[in-house]
Amino acid sequence: MLKKILKLILSIFIIILLVVIGYLAYVFISYQRIEDNLPLDVESKGAPSSSISTETNYRIASNNIGFGAYQDTFSFFMDGGTESWAFSKEDVINNTTGLIENIKSLNPDFIILQEVDVDSTRSYHVDEAALMIDSLSKQYDDFSYTFACNYDSPFLMYPLTQPHGKSKAGLLTISTATITDSIRRSLPIDEGITKVLDLDRCYSKNRIPVDNGKELVIYNVHLSAYNKNPETSEYQLKMLNEDMLAEAESGNYVIAGGDMNKDLLGDSSKYFGVNGVSVNWAVAFPTELLDDEFTLVAPFDESNPVPTCRNADMPYCEEDFVLTLDGFIVSSNVEVVESNVLDLQFKYSDHNPVYMDFILK
C-alpha cells in the first residue's frame, strides 16, 4: 500500500515537472525579438498638411496609458501590487477613452503614446489603438499615425492566481502633418530569463517634412523598467543618442519623448516629498550619456509641481511614491517654450499626460 502511494506521488511529481519543463520550453521557443529597422505603415485620416513651418508654435503631448488598466485603485504585481489584469473590459475602455479625451483638451499637434495594447489578455483583447484613433477622428479631420509593436509576448503563466497571459502592445504616434516615413528600432534588452519579464523594447522614428527642406524627426520612446542589468539601460540610451545625433548633424530637428523610466528631476522626492529609496528602478536620468547637442526637458512647474508617474505597488494615495519619468529630449535647433504636466490625479493611468510647446528655429 505504501509503495502504491509513493508511486502515485512520484507520478504526480513527474507529470508536474514535465508540464513545467514543457511550458518553459514553449516560452523560450516562442520568444522572438521583432526585427530591427522594421518599416511601419503610415495611416491617414482626411488630408493632413504636407509639412510644418519654422518659427511657429507647436505642441506635442505624451502619455503612457498603462494598457488601460492603471486607474487610481489599481496596483500591479510586478511593482509589488496585486493585479495582473485590468479590473474589467469596461474599465479598459473607460480608462483609454478618458485619457484620450483629456489629451485632446490640450489641442496638441503631435501625440505620442506608450503601452497601448491591441490584443492582450490583461486588457481583455481591447484594441486600444483603434479606440483612440476613433476618438481623435471626432476632433481632428486630418491626421496621420503609426503604430510600432513594442512586444508580442508568449502566454505568461505568472502569477498563478491570474496569469498575465499574452500581451501585444506598442507605441502609437499621431501627427496633424503628414508622416512620410516611420521605422521601428529594436533597443538592447537583458539576456536570460529576465528578457521574458521585461519583454521586447523599441522606439519608433517618425519623419515629418519642414517647409525649409529639413525634417522633424519624432522619436516615440519607452525605455525598460524591469531590467536586472543596469548596463542595459545605458546601452539603450547610447543607441538612442547615436541615432538622434546622426539626424541632428544632418540638420534635422529632433524630438524624443515618452516614458524614459528614469527620474528626470534627478531626485523627485525633493519636490514631491515622498522618498523612493525602496524603488530600485527610480534612478536619476544619466544626462552624461546625451551629447551636448541635446537638452533633457522634464515637464515641471516650480510653483505647482505635479508628478508624471506613481509607483503602482498599491492604489494611489497621498503617501504613494511619485516622480517625473515622462518627458522629452530636444536638439539645439528646437526652442522649448513650455513643458508641463496635465494633472489627472492618476485617474486613468499610473502616468499623467505631459506636453511641450516648441518652435523649430
* Residue pLDDT, tens place only, 125-145: 999 999 999 999 999 999 999
Residue 280 has pLDDT above 70, yes or no: no
Residue 193: per-residue pLDDT:
63
Residue 196: per-residue pLDDT:
57
Residue 89: per-residue pLDDT:
98
DSSP class of 199: -
Architecture of domain 36-360: 4-Layer Sandwich (3.60)
Residue 318: per-residue pLDDT:
84
Residue 200: per-residue pLDDT:
81
Q: Report domain extents, the chain.
A: 1-30, 36-360
Question: How far are the Cα atoms of 23, 66, 110, 164 from residue 157, in angstroms, in the given order?
Answer: 9, 20, 37, 6
Q: With CA atoms as reference, report the closest residue to 218 among 70, 323, 334.
A: 334
The C-alpha atoms of residue 116 and residue 103 are separated, in whole angstroms, by 15
**pTM reported for the whole predicted model:** 0.93
Residue 194 has pLDDT above 90, yes or no: no
The count of residues in the chain is 361
Amino acid letter at 150?
N
* Beta-bridge mates of residue 216: 208, 253
The C-alpha atoms of residue 69 and residue 85 are separated, in whole angstroms, by 7
* Beta-bridge mates of residue 331: 294
Task: Classify strands 168-175 and 38-39 as parallel, antiparallel or unpaired.
Answer: unpaired
Residue 28 has pLDDT above 80, yes or no: no
Residue 148: per-residue pLDDT:
98
Residue 38 has pLDDT above 90, yes or no: yes
Which run of H or E residues covers position 7?
Answer: helix 2-30
> With bands split at pLDDT 50, 70 and 90, how would you rate the model's confidence at 26?
low
> With bands split at pLDDT 50, 70 and 90, how would you rate the model's confidence at 9?
confident
Q: What is the largest CA-CA distance in the chain?
A: 88
Residue 182: per-residue pLDDT:
99
Mean pLDDT of 154-160: 85
> With bands split at pLDDT 50, 70 and 90, how would you rate the model's confidence at 109?
very high
> With bands split at pLDDT 50, 70 and 90, how would you rate the model's confidence at 276?
low
Across 86-100, 154-168, 221-235, which has the greatest mean pLDDT? 86-100
Residue 146 has pLDDT above 90, yes or no: yes
186 and 34 Cβ atoms separated by less than 8 Å = yes
The C-alpha atoms of residue 77 and residue 158 are separated, in whole angstroms, by 10
Residue 29: per-residue pLDDT:
64
The C-alpha atoms of residue 361 and residue 353 are separated, in whole angstroms, by 26
Least confident among 102-111, 190-199, 241-250: 190-199
Grid cell listed for 332: 539645439
The C-alpha atoms of residue 123 and residue 118 are separated, in whole angstroms, by 9
Grid cell listed for 197: 519579464
